[in-house]
Amino acid sequence: MAPGVVWVAALLASMLALGRLFAGDYADGTLEQIVLAPHPLGLLVGAKVAAHWLVTGLPLVVLAPLLGLAFDLGPRALGVLALTLLLGTPTLGLVGAIGAALTLGLRGAGALLSLLVLPLYIPVLIFGAGAVEAVAAGLGAGAHLSVLGALLALALFFAPWAAAAALRISLE
């Protein structure tokens, strides 16, 4: 049960800050200036998501071995837990950025954001927790880690550009 608890904590940490990812910039007009900047909007969105991950995901990755010890995980499972969080938490932030951009400026955006991104988070949670469970059961976690890596690669490539397009639509 330990990997599931840690992964739900990662999901909640990511979800708490997603509503404010672009909201402050939207409220004070900075987002319009960012869109008009000569730099590609996808790269600027990627930088904002990286900052979001540094605040919400990285501390959880660093604390993962301590959390795993509290749940009596073995040393190999602790390493896999940290690795899955290192692969999965950026994916959570990137997918959440798309949802945050789509719900920008809407009333009740928090509830709608949750409805949009939670179904997309489920594969990351399943494969992240499943890798640790597989190692704890004495099996290999290679397939789980490969799927998490593929999800991260897809999110790194597509999410900043999709969020940028959603931001442009939200500002119209």
Average pLDDT of adjacent 10-residue blocks, the chain of 172 residues: 85 87 88 90 93 92 88 89 94 94 85 90 94 90 95 96 93 84
Contacts of 37 (CB under 8 A, 6+ apart): 44
Rounded to whole angstroms, the Cα distance separating 48 from 4 reads 27
* pLDDT score for 23: 87
To which H or E segment does residue 49 belong?
helix 41-56
Report residue 139: phi and psi, to 5°.
-100, 175
Q: pTM higher than 0.85, yes or no? A: yes
Cβ–Cβ < 8 Å for 96, 112: no
Compute the C-alpha angle 106/121/129, nearest 5°.
Answer: 150
pLDDT recorded at residue 44: 92
Q: Mean pLDDT of all residues in the chain?
A: 91
Ranges of each domain in the chain: 2-171
Alpha-carbon distance of 26 to 163, in angstroms, equals 14
As a whole number of angstroms, the distance between CA 68 and CA 72 comes to 6
The pLDDT score that the predictor gives to residue 86 is 95
